[in-house]
Structure 1
Amino acid sequence: MLAIRKAAPEPGLICHEVEAPALLGDDEMLIRIEAAGICGTDLHIADWTAGYEAMTSAMPVTLGHEFAGTVERGPSEWLGRRVVVRPSVTCGHCEGCRQRGEDGCTARSGIGIRRNGGFASLASVPSRNCVAVPEGLDAELAALTEPMTVAAQAVSRAGTVEGKRVLVLGPGPIGLGVALFAERAGAAALTIAGRDDAARLACARALGFGDTRDALADDEPLAPSGYDVIFEATGVPEVASAAQRLLAPGGVLVICGIHARPASFDLTAMVRLEQGVIGSYRAPVARWSEVVAAIADEPERFRRLISHRLPLEDALDGFALMRNRTAIKVMLQP
């Protein structure tokens, strides 16, 4: 079968034929993949930016951690069922697992990072990592679940969003997902800002968000009085630092971008203005079913996040579309 793989700790990916995966244990299932999304993490791995060195020992490894499909082999109760796959594989025996269950694991491994993922026709995954997809929710929407759990978790980490002035920095899939879930949480006003992001801000407007700003094209400044909640989803350290200056007294800055370099903050202002900075990364297991339900509730709205659909053999073209920000979400169809 064809697979998109990281073969060496250097920039670049390979697209070649590999053997179909074998089940790695009694608790494993073989998934026939129907849709797989390209993520910003996949771009970082392809370009070999800092922060992914731990996956070197797993190479060559098939990428892809946002995918959905049908169970072909595994426990009888799962056969033929359509599922979305949680990419975080937990060990089940570390102290964190014993104390807090899967959400507390300190020895987790990532599907599509340290074990073969979804940029192929088939993937072997633990049955406990599968979440059933409701009838009527098609594969490409189901494959949006993983990035949308990241967005929903960021909104949850912010605390109370209802009635607040919200700014989303970075109109990529995560930022747009944050806007959707912040709206669902009752945000009073919502601004989405980017830089040289015409296509993605156009998507934001198509989603119904009227207040969009492009730092290279707009003269109108962001609110001088500050925002109650700011979500930083750019992955650019300088943007994270600048976001603090846009935060209202008592406001909360949620960092959900992945940064290759440190960011600096004005700690004196943070103390005097009683501002908070919170990191948000992985959603707890329970969040997955909530997000599947949210997507099923507004399927055509979430579908607007998918800008391109490509066969697996054209995956590298999809990476180029994501890299130059022409695309929102590229969905591969093995």
Structure 2
Amino acid sequence: MYCGQMNQGTIFPAADFNPAEDAEVLFSALQGMECNKDDLIEVLTQRCNAQRLIIAQIYSGSYGQDLVTDLKEKLSDHFKEVMVGLMYPPAFFDAHELRHAMKGAGTDENCLIEILASRTNSEIYAINEVYMMQFGVPLQEDIDSETSGHFRDTLMILAQGAREEGYEYEDPAMAAEDATILWDACQGESGEHKNMLQDILCRKSYQQLWMVIFLVAFQQFQLVSGQDIVDVIRDCYDGHFQQLLIAIILCVRDKASYFAYKLNSAIYDFGFHNKTVIRILISRSELDLMNIKRSYKEQYGNSLHHDIRQYASGHYEAALSAICTGDAEDY
């Protein structure tokens, strides 16, 4: 039976929350030539997103200025990205990340894969709504114009938020049938085979996919080929389409482990890819970052906090570390 991990973040609602006092601290911190970055970190990384939005409202009402605008004007570089990113509601943050991934300097396919392969239907619905409101075009329209081939088609399906949800879609007999289709699809590279992969991996519920991958497909792949399904997909397909299929499978298996892998890759394989590290820490900070940290330590030996401190410095490192550790035990 599929068992999703209970969400466990590193940032929680602050006890004895006093938004007027926090707004005053932030306003004072942003005055003068040199900002008090320690105060900014102390407030913004120790309040949940809902509390930060209340602080921003009071800040505006009390001082006649927009907090996000002030942060953008007073701060710089990656530290600014962290502080501003913390002020965005989750769907707003994801929508802006997706837009930047497609309309920045070149297309950041890894960002598209990471977000669209890992978000729930409700999260994707919210992203679509914000994307249209913020940028005046549907998310799928930009995906269609900025990507291509079966990679584009798979992203388009995921962006619909059309995955079945709930245990009523858990069908062992259908899982066996899906596993056979999945096996056949991994033996060929035709358009039809790719369509079959898309249909199963993008539309079936996580509960159903868990059965397909673990209870049936895993055994079949091991017995017949001696390889895991991820290895077979790597052998059969390539490019961003391959990476997207694998990301979906890894998220079905263990989403925390998937994000741990993405963080380690961003830190070591890409010379500390700041945008990826910032995006994952902020977007998972109130969901499952503690689980991600545990998985990171299990997979790579070092704590996530340790590896971040090896490559980031100054107030930027302090902000990332505060998000990473919160008030919880370090891993």
Q: TM-score, normalised by structure 1?
A: 0.32
Tell which structure's C-alpha radius of gyration is larger: 2
Q: Which has the higher strand share?
A: 1
